[in-house]
Amino acid sequence: MKTALPYGMIFLLLLASCEKSSYNGDYDVLLKTEGGFSYKYSDFALYDSSTHIFYFKTNHPEFKTESKDKFSVLANGQEIYQGPFLPGYSSYLPAGPFIPSFPYFYQNYALKIECWHLGNLKDLRNDPAIIKVLEERGLLHSGLKVSLEPLEINGTKLTFKFTVKNYDTSDLLIIDIDKTGLNLFHYFTNGLSIYDSAHNLVFKSNIEHSAPASYKDWKIDWLSVLKSGDSRQFTINYILNAPIHPGSYQVSFDFPGLAFQISKDQLYQNNDRIWLGDIQINKTMTIN
């Protein structure tokens, strides 16, 4: 018995060591695919939780394909969520996260996790377990938050105000309406939409957009720096085609950033990061 105990303990320690080693193989993995690609925390520069974009340290052309693969996002070796790579021509609309694979709307250092048609499902993209491990590893960036002000209607004039606040630790370059003008700004966004309680569209932005010379064009003059912790309010005046009666409405607005226009070596301008992506805001409002 005296000799059997040490051997038994040695066996258990070896077994535990093997299990730990196997676990550590996934412990450092943040994202992997069924097709065999695996990416560690050290492969990433940051994650923007406001747009659900993972930024790689290097380019990854493997994502710019018509992939029908599946992916998983992990936190300390545990899968938090998974989803498919979805080509744009697909008629399948997943109930949960997915990665658009073709066409891809960002250059291949930025990987955006989309999520549509959740229904009663919880959006796991910013699950607390993921946020915690990213914060511990210095990868978490909180990006922007957009809040809508109450709508003001005076005759046929609708005044729409919204505030953009920088919750990131970095100073961010954002599209500035006052620099682009309303027409170019509405090239990047569909603008304001208002729906009644039966989800009938009662107003949709009627500002005509103007396009840049090509879809790849962008100018630093369109952007302004929003320093960490600062906020900025913008105003858009719309003209109503028909009166909006008092009541409760669903207001929708998409605040845009640049996307495929920005290459990896353009992402930082001096020490300021160009904010990529967009934020969709849906809010119930009462119009008097």
d(CA 85, CA 67): 6
Say if residue 154 is in the same domain as residue 126.
no
Q: Among 124, 123, 125, 168, which Cα is nearest to 145's?
A: 168
CA dist 147 → 111, 130, 189, 251 (Å): 25, 25, 16, 12
Say if residue 97 is in the same domain as residue 220.
no
- Which of 105, 136, 167 is the C-terminal boundary of a domain? 136
Report, as an integer, the average pLDDT of 248-269. 97
Helix (H, G, I), strand (E, B) or coil at 16: helix
pLDDT tens digit sequence for 183-201: 999 999 999 999 999 999 9
Say if residues 117 and 133 touch (Cβ distance below 8 Å): no
Amino acid (one-letter) located at 214: S
Structural domain boundaries, residue 215: 144-287
Say if residue 118 is in the same domain as residue 32.
yes
Say if residues 199 and 181 touch (Cβ distance below 8 Å): no
d(CA 58, CA 117): 32
CA atoms within 13 A on the CB side of 140: 15
- Looking at residue 201, which CATH number applies to its domain? 2.60.40.2360
70 within a domain of the structure (yes/no)? yes
12: phi then psi, degrees, rounded to nearest 5? -65, -40
68 within a domain of the structure (yes/no)? yes
- Which of 113, 136, 159 is the C-terminal boundary of a domain? 136
Q: Quick one: pLDDT band at residue 15, thresholds 50, 70, 90?
A: very low
* Entry pTM: 0.87
- Which of 136, 154, 171 is the C-terminal boundary of a domain? 136
